[in-house]
Amino acid sequence: TGCISTTAYITIHNMVGWMIASFATDSCREHWVPAMVAGDKLGSYCLTEPGSGSDAASLRTRAEREGDDYYLSGSKMFISGAGATDVL
């Protein structure tokens, strides 16, 4: 037997680690990935939105790049592990 909640959360944590390892800057990757692999830092994946649920094709949150910065707009409804994690 196993705990489906724990399995789901570990899968989410692993997806966050993969996204950071694949797409973040070198300094961000160096800061987060080793600690996440060790389990010292935990990550949450922010998908669910009001009116969209977890349908990724209908999400409205956006990251707009302006120069070297990104500006986020939108809202989230449910974030697995939020409040107990270190990176979203």
Residue-wise pLDDT tens digits, 48-59 = 888 888 888 888
Provide the percentage of residues in the chain whose pLDDT is more than 70: 100
More confident residue, 16 or 1: 16
Count other C-beta atoms under 10 Å from residue 3's C-beta: 9
Instruction: Kindly tell me if the per-residue pLDDT of 14 is higher than 90.
Output: yes
**Residue 42 CB contacts under 8 Å (≥ 6 apart), including other chains:** 13, 36, 81, 84, 85, 86, 87
Give residue 82's pLDDT: 84
